[in-house]
Structure 1
Amino acid sequence: MEQRHLGRSGLLVSRLGLGTMTWGQETSPDEAAAQLAGFVDAGGTLVDTADVYGDGDSERVLGRLLRDLVPRDDLVVGTKSAIRPNGRYDASRRHLLTALDASLDRLGLEHVDLWQLHVYDPMTPLEETLAALDEAVASGRTRYVGVSNYAGWQLAKAAAWQRAWPGRAPIVSTQMEYSLLHREIEREVVPAAEDAEVGVLPWSPLGRGVLTGKYRTGIPADSRAATTRYAEFVRPYLGEQSRLIVESVSTAAEGLGVSPLAVALSWVRDRPGVVAPIVGARTPSQLLGILQTEDVTLPAEIRDALDDISDV
């Protein structure tokens, strides 16, 4: 798998990242082990988790696999903090550093490679939040830092603050929702990221699963949209405009002899500023389909056509 630099840093990561949000819940430890083994065998390195995924179970499962299955040095491990278990945003210095220590304990690690602020907390002064990043790097608990779900102005302000004084930990990544069904970040976040030389890590690059084409004829009984937990998460992408985009992706896939998943993922993977889409799979077979997209590159005319139909 191709490796790319994460922002303006020397850190190389695979151009696909493995998301672990379902690990320990929908994805069993055995299935997680199969996913991680397959990902590493394919040359993948970047694994993304967060302290709130499964109330910490995702980190616990990953920690066991780092101990028993995959050598630590084979992976770039990233986690996120700034959301309390009750859902309240908290990017105070007190909470962030306590949360990072708890993440390290669950992961069984002395440090992570990438520690990200999961959300922007408007109730905490930004300079306090960013000082916690500096301390985490200085103390050796993380090697690099990034942000997630920051608006364009929030990213620009954070990146500029960190560059304003020697010794501060630079922001190297921003993790945002980005797909053919969700291109809003191109207006402000992507330009801000490119200007600050911050790498973009798209989450939900398959449009919450809709771009795979699984919903073209209805809602499958075994899909996330059929569950109480995820129905409202998927619903915004089941409208008429989304249907037109999905049909265009499917048409392109038929012409290229690949899956709709491969078309949608290749499109976002090779967008300006993007370093590595974060892909999540409930099962090893789903991940295998994702990994098989590595050799797919969209012809310019198909990319342009998809740009036009999804530019809303």
Structure 2
Amino acid sequence: MKHIQIKGLDKPVSKLVMGSDFFRLDNPHEVSEILHHYLAIGGNTIDTAHIYCGGQSEQALGIWLDETGKREEMVLFTKGAHHDNNGPRVNPEAIRHDLLTSLDRMRTDYIDLYGLHRDDPATPVGVIVEALNEHLEAGRIRAFGGSNWTHQRLQEANEYAAQHGLVGFSFSSPNLSLAKPNEPFWAGCVSADAEALRWYEEQQFPLLSWSSQARGFFTGRFSPEIRDNADLVRVFYSDENWTRLQRAQQLAQEKGVSAIQIALAYVLSQPFPACALIGPRTEAEMVSCRDGAELVLSAQELAWLDLTGAAV
């Protein structure tokens, strides 16, 4: 398994990050089995969040860490300060509440990678950066970043940090996939567009992509005529994405792999440090992700797949 380095963290971060939004207290056997397969392919980073399964994801992960004694081997990536029914919660009080709750649930005294699950552009970045630095200095987190933050806000936050002698954001976790969304999957979500990708490359800023394989768009189960998944139709059905799928299938045939492995390789072959959040539920799916992560696509192949370059 290949890895990237994230500033502030003394552990490497595996290029494949295991998603845990299906971890619950009533499926401990499945949690244990999936994590066993994930460790077997060389993974070491688990993604969770304060809101996943009403907190059960973090609780189930905490139980597994306790039972296996693998806390120090793993990189824990959790997120907080998600909005609620009353609106945005990106403020020092909500950050503190969610972080302390997450630490308790996962039975640990620090989080390796802490992400703000949403942004609130109405809140000045200085307030947020200062709050996160307090938790950094207290040892509760090792590095922090934004999930669903625009690159402009990340830049603004890091400029503030530099001007005030503080630590800035070390990573970002937006959506990035070969299939481009017509609209956000959920309100407030951010996908990396062409302008953002240029910024990530210029800054060599680590990106941890959620929905890296476009929620199964490249599995071959979907076509313009199959419209039983309303969310997939709404977000990913477009003429351009069907062309991207056809090109992924063509390149996959040439390389002797699957189209979904090409889609995964598209994310991991970007010209900046990139990881992909994955959600395999079987050993076979895990192995497929492992093999896809081994593929390296050229700049020309990336451009052709994304409809911005000539055929290779």
Common fold by TM > 0.5: yes
Residue number in structure 1 paired with 2:171: 173
Deviation at 1:274, TM superposition (A): 3.5
Deviation at 1:198, TM superposition (A): 2.6
Residue number in structure 2 paired with 1:97: 96
Structure 2 residue matching 1:115: 3-state secondary structure:
strand
- Residues 57-114 of structure 1: CA distance to partner in whole angstroms, max 9, x if unpaired? 1111111111113511111101011114537320110111011000111111111101
Is 1:206 aligned with 2:213? yes
Q: 1:239 to 1:189 in 2, by over 3 A?
A: closer
Deviation at 1:197, TM superposition (A): 4.4
Q: How many equivalent residue pairs?
A: 301
Residue number in structure 1 paired with 2:242: 243
Is 1:17 aligned with 2:17? yes
Q: 1:10 to 1:74 in 2, by over 3 A?
A: closer
Is 1:68 aligned with 2:67? yes
Distance of 1:265 and 1:59 partners within structure 2: 26
Deviation at 1:159, TM superposition (A): 1.5
Distance of 1:98 and 1:202 partners within structure 2: 26
Q: 1:300 to 1:241 in 2, by over 3 A?
A: closer
Deviation at 1:52, TM superposition (A): 0.9
Distance of 1:35 and 1:284 partners within structure 2: 7
Structure 2 residue matching 1:89: 3-state secondary structure:
coil
**8 A contact 2:205–2:273 mirrored in 1:** no
Distance of 1:293 and 1:213 partners within structure 2: 16
Distance of 2:269 and 2:7 partners within structure 1: 15
1:29-40 equivalent positions in 2, closer than 5 A:
29-40=28-39
Distance of 1:257 and 1:11 partners within structure 2: 34
Residue number in structure 2 paired with 1:113: 112
The AA in structure 2 aligned to 1:187 is A
**8 A contact 1:51–1:79 mirrored in 2:** yes
Distance of 1:214 and 1:70 partners within structure 2: 39
Residue number in structure 1 paired with 2:188: none
Distance of 1:38 and 1:239 partners within structure 2: 35
- Residues 172-205 of structure 1: CA distance to partner in whole angstroms, max 9, x if unpaired? 1000100111286243333334444431111111
Distance of 1:271 and 1:55 partners within structure 2: 34
Structure 2 residue matching 1:276: 3-state secondary structure:
strand
Q: 1:291 to 1:170 in 2, by over 3 A?
A: same
- Residues 184-235 of structure 1: CA distance to partner in whole angstroms, max 9, x if unpaired? 624333333444443111111111210222214865xxxxx856xxx32553
1:181-260 equivalent positions in 2, closer than 5 A:
181-182=179-180, 185-216=192-223, 219=226, 226=228, 231-232=230-231, 235-260=234-259
**8 A contact 1:24–1:58 mirrored in 2:** yes
Q: 1:105 to 1:29 in 2, by over 3 A?
A: same
Residue number in structure 2 paired with 1:157: 156
The AA in structure 2 aligned to 1:211 is F
Percent same amino acid at aligned positions? 27
Deviation at 1:128, TM superposition (A): 1.6
**Structure 2 length normalisation: TM-score?**
0.87
- Residues 219-261 of structure 1: CA distance to partner in whole angstroms, max 9, x if unpaired? 5xxxxx856xxx3255321333222211211121112111111
Distance of 1:305 and 1:61 partners within structure 2: 42
Unaligned runs of at least 5 residues, structure 2: 182-190
**8 A contact 2:48–2:57 mirrored in 1:** yes
The AA in structure 2 aligned to 1:201 is L
1:36-47 equivalent positions in 2, closer than 5 A:
36-47=35-46
**8 A contact 1:253–1:260 mirrored in 2:** yes
Distance of 1:47 and 1:93 partners within structure 2: 25
Q: CA RMSD in A?
A: 2.6
**8 A contact 1:52–1:85 mirrored in 2:** no
Q: 1:103 to 1:53 in 2, by over 3 A?
A: same
Unaligned runs of at least 5 residues, structure 1: 220-224
Distance of 1:107 and 1:236 partners within structure 2: 33
Distance of 2:196 and 2:104 partners within structure 1: 33
Q: Which moved more, 1:45-54 or 1:2-11?
A: 2-11
Q: 1:87 to 1:200 in 2, by over 3 A?
A: farther
Distance of 2:215 and 2:169 partners within structure 1: 27
Residue number in structure 1 paired with 2:185: none
Deviation at 1:310, TM superposition (A): 8.8
